[in-house]
A and B are shown apart, each in its own frame.
Chain A
């Protein structure tokens, strides 16, 4: 999948993670053939929980996809009327929660029923429905301030593609096996080699090719 850049939304901030982890601790224990009674051991659970988070973070960075449903906030660098589509650089985009902006110090909400989501091969875009325009100040001559969108993106619970889920498990397994190992800064023991090749292959195959240069 390829995504082309379009001027607009940037400075993405994670608001909250609402979806459950795509991989449960019990699935990790079973995958590693560990005794499931370890689920009552707080230290082990903390370690595995950290490994799950690490693997999810790595997978999301490489694939440009969000593995669990989350709420984000992003800002327009400039919003000044028009009907241009804007790319929302989180995948898969689920819904728009709200759009807000500021005019002369007054916070204003933009009616989200006036916009539509255009799914495409890669990041989705949002644009005004037919007959509507993005907000502006003073008759399209002045951009609005603090224009932002709050949206939900990420795979719903149980919807993460099997390949990605399997890559997560393999990566977590690798982290578990090598826990406590010291690694040198170069050579075959470099940190990047801690990610199994099969994971990298799966992530690269499923990655959105991101041509965006910027924040």
Chain B
């Protein structure tokens, strides 16, 4: 059994501490928003997870390009790790958004451009894993996965810019005002502290989970190679 590097152990502990501090800032330190009440506090984790997930999907697209150029399976493992962690984070984003929408928009779900593009992105990457499951040859699986992740990666910027390009009721809290938006608010100084700290905490958490997932991928490859060796 391979022992964890000390840097990864430190990162594990740091991400737990940062997540705990971020939770404190979001639930206690940040003031209650007057119009929406406590449900606005899910905003900090909603944006934190969305930010890291979309960056992860774009990173996976970059790893795909590098794999297609170099044909080294290391880049395939990085791509899988980035997509898997991003998929989990983006699921949390969607669920938190839906929970926020119930009191703010009086519905759990609506086919708004942002919500629709987010749901499509999540489904694209669920299908990515289904595609990989169906291919046995590692090189073929990596090549198909890379092309798919590269095309799928386009959905991340589309999701991000959906609220800036289309008419939508989704609020644009950072860097924009949308007259159609329902449930928007302006952040106070304390809210900004909680917000930026959540972004930082989730970025560290993402790196930590990403690193752990890469190690798992390495182990999977070693076991697969050993299986082939034993069978031959």
Physical interaction between A and B: no
Which residues from chain B sit less than 8 Å from chain A, CB to CB? none
Which residues from chain A sit less than 8 Å from chain B, CB to CB? none
